[in-house]
Chain A
Amino acid sequence: MSEAIVRALGLLAAFDRTLLEIAGLSLRVSLSAVLIAALLGLPLGAAIAVGRFPGRQAAIVVLNAFMGLPPVVVGLIVYLALSRAGPLGPLGILFTPRAMVIAQALLIVPIVAALTRQIVEDAWREHREQLVSLGASAGRAALSLLWDTRFSLTTVVLAGFGRASAEVGAVMIVGGNIDGVTRVMTTAIALETSKGDLPLALALGLVLITLVMLLNASAYFIAEAARRRYG
């Protein structure tokens, strides 16, 4: 065990190539997924927060429920859509990083949208009369409040990124954990552990934990600095 830890640290210190490749792909996939999820989830959440339309409450319930979607189920759905017989089969992107990006994005869009909806709705409650008084349309108000809550929303997006990069089930199903192609940190840890290659698994685990810590620390310090500066 302690030997495994020493060798894991050795891999990290030597910037082991396999390790770097896997970590790099993880970052690329999860960053792409979080970018897509932010582009979809932020406006969606703000629109639901500010809009008044039939079915709004149902939309909120569904969104909140989808925050807890089991990753393997998302993986299965994306797999079915992308498999050769599926509606998106002709794209031929199953078992590629793109499929993993889609799965992770689907997984975290509800998270980003639901948390954005909550945050923007609180802000809307506070600002509504003033903004309406100044003549803001609902769309304009939604944009203004997205900007006004930008620091809280940064934390939301970071949470989405954390969830995407820590997830195993969905990327395992749609990526296939192919060595050098679709192997990311979480799937590699699962595989190496089952094979008994503990040093690589441990080293990847350390990278993953460090990443999560860094994310949380930056979320915390961004929020703190913003509170001090902007009130």
Chain B
Amino acid sequence: MLALALERVAYTANGQRIIDDLSAEFTAGERSVILGANGAGKSVLLRLCHGLLQPTSGTIRWNSGGSGKPRDAMVFQRPVMLRRSVLHNLTYALALAGVPWRERKARARTALAKAGLEALAKRSARVLSGGEQQRLALARAWALEPTVLFLDEPTANLDPVATREVEAIIQAIHSAGTKVIMTTHNLGQARRLGDEILFIARGRLIERAPADVFFRAPASVDAAAFLRGELP
């Protein structure tokens, strides 16, 4: 049984507490949406979980029930692609993940098909539209078959159509059995994709609740204000 446990995690930069004494545990299954205003610390929290940043204090532990750290992948707010074809961006990621080269192309093509990008396989990745690049980033993460997928505001720079396409892929990744942990400041998206909501403000976990409960009756003043559109 997967578990990712944060215990009293703090992250300080330039004397500023960006994540403050945050404890939380994530288990397999439901989609966890980390909700909060701009600057609340969502991106930093996700980077800490993914291992791109080290906590100043506190611990982050993975538990997969024996067989080492489970594979986790991350999709960033702004997709970054290498100057090579769509297909080769995927096979590159698979190579770094240690997938034998005989299997890489087939796995990459499967992931592209799932993201609706197979027609673009030979195109250069960096000339794709923003929405296509973000779908490619999702396909790249999916191809790695992660146990946990972190997504940091994956639709923040996209128009409504591209947003729906990206949300559909996230939904499919969840349905295929990957644990989804994503951030957003968008209430509509949190409603559409969240099974549970972790509301954070000023680097602290203010409230955690099943999505229907959170949106019906937020327990904290901060969350209630955020839901009314009064940004703190």
* A residues neighboring B (CB under 8 Å): 126-127, 129-130, 132-136, 140, 144, 147-150, 229-231
Asked whether B80 lies within 8 Å of A136 as measured between CB atoms, the reply is no
8 Å CB contacts to A: which residues of B22-40? Answer: none
B164 within 8 A of A: no
> Is the pair A136, B96 in contact by a Cβ cutoff of 8 Å?
yes
Q: Is the CB of B76 within 8 A of A230?
A: no
Which residue of the partner chain, among A134, A140, A148, A149, contacts B97 with CB atoms under 8 Å?
A134
CA distance A126 to B74 in the complex (A): 16
Which of A132, A140, A230 contacts B83 (CB under 8 A)? A230
Main secondary structure of the interface of B (DSSP, over half): mixed
Contact A135 B96 (CB under 8 A): yes
Beta-carbon contacts of B94-132 to A below 8 Å, as 1s and 0s? 001100000000000000000000000000111100000
Which of A133, A144, A230 sits near B92, CB closer than 8 Å? A144
In the complex, chain B residues 64-93 whose Cβ is within 8 Å of any chain A Cβ: 73-74, 76, 80, 82-84, 92-93
The 8 Å CB contact of A231, one of B73, B83, B93, is B83
Chain A residues, CB < 8 A from B76: 129-130, 133
B17 at the interface (CB under 8 A from A): no
B52 at the interface (CB under 8 A from A): yes
Contacts of B80 on A, CB cut-off 8 Å?
126-127, 129-130
- A126 and B47 CA atoms in complex are apart in Å by 16
Asked whether any CB of chain A lies closer than 8 Å to the CB of B191, the reply is: no
The minimal Cβ–Cβ distance linking A214 to chain B, given in whole angstroms, is 26
The verdict on A127 contacting B93 (CB below 8 Å), with A133-B73, A229-B124 known, is no
Judge whether B50 is part of the interface by a CB distance below 8 angstroms. Answer: yes
Complex contacts, A150 vs chain B, CB 8 Å: 83
Q: Which residues of A contact B50 (CB under 8 A)?
A: 133
- Report A-chain residues with C-beta under 8 Å of the C-beta of B93: 134
Q: How far, in whole Å, are A150 and B84 apart by their CA atoms in the complex?
A: 11
Interface of A is mostly: helix
If A130-B80, A148-B82 touch, whether A230 touches B96 (CB-CB below 8 Å) is no
Residues of B within 8 A of A136 (CB): 96
Given contacts A129-B52, A133-B73, contact A231 B127 (CB under 8 A): yes
* Neighbouring A residues of B83 by C-beta, 8 Å: 147-150, 230-231
6 further contact pairs, Cβ within 8 A, besides A133-B74, A144-B92 = A126-B80, A129-B47, A133-B73, A133-B76, A136-B96, A231-B83
The reply to whether B96 and A127 contact each other, CB–CB distance below 8 Å, is no
B82/A127 in contact, CB under 8 A? yes
B124 and A230 contacting across the interface, CB-CB below 8 Å: yes
- Please name the residue on chain A nearest to B85 by beta carbon: A230
Query: Which residues of the partner chain B approach A129 to less than 8 Å between Cβ atoms?
Result: 47, 52, 76, 80
Q: CA separation between A134 and B89, bound complex, in Å? A: 11
CA distance A129 to B44 in the complex (A): 12
Nearest-CB residue, chain B, relative to A136: B96
Report whether B97 and A230 are in contact in the complex, using a CB–CB cutoff of 8 Å. no
**Bound complex: CA A140 to CA B83 (Å):** 16
Task: Give the residues in chain A near B47, CB-CB below 8 Å.
Answer: 129
Q: Give the chain B neighbours of A127 by CB distance below 8 A.
A: 80, 82
Q: How far is the CA of A230 from the CA of B86 in the complex (A)?
A: 11
- Complex formed: what's the CA distance from A144 to B95 in Å? 12
Interface centre among B47, B50, B84, B96 (most CB of A within 10 A): B96
Shortest distance from the beta carbon of B48 to any chain A beta carbon, whole Å: 13
Cβ-defined contact, A230 with B74, below 8 A: no
Q: List 24 A-B contacts (CB under 8 A).
A: A129-B47, A129-B52, A129-B80, A132-B52, A133-B50, A133-B52, A134-B92, A134-B93, A134-B96, A134-B97, A135-B96, A135-B97, A136-B96, A147-B83, A147-B84, A148-B82, A148-B84, A229-B124, A230-B83, A230-B124, A230-B126, A231-B83, A231-B124, A231-B126
Most buried by B among A126, A134, A140, A229: A134
Contacts of A140 in B (CB 8 A): 96
Residue of A nearest to B79 (CB): A130
**Which residue of B has the minimal Cβ distance to A133?**
B74
- Complex: A156 Cα to B66 Cα, angstroms: 51
Q: Closest Cβ of chain B: how far from A192's Cβ, in Å? A: 46
Shortest beta-carbon distance, A167 to chain B, in Å? 32
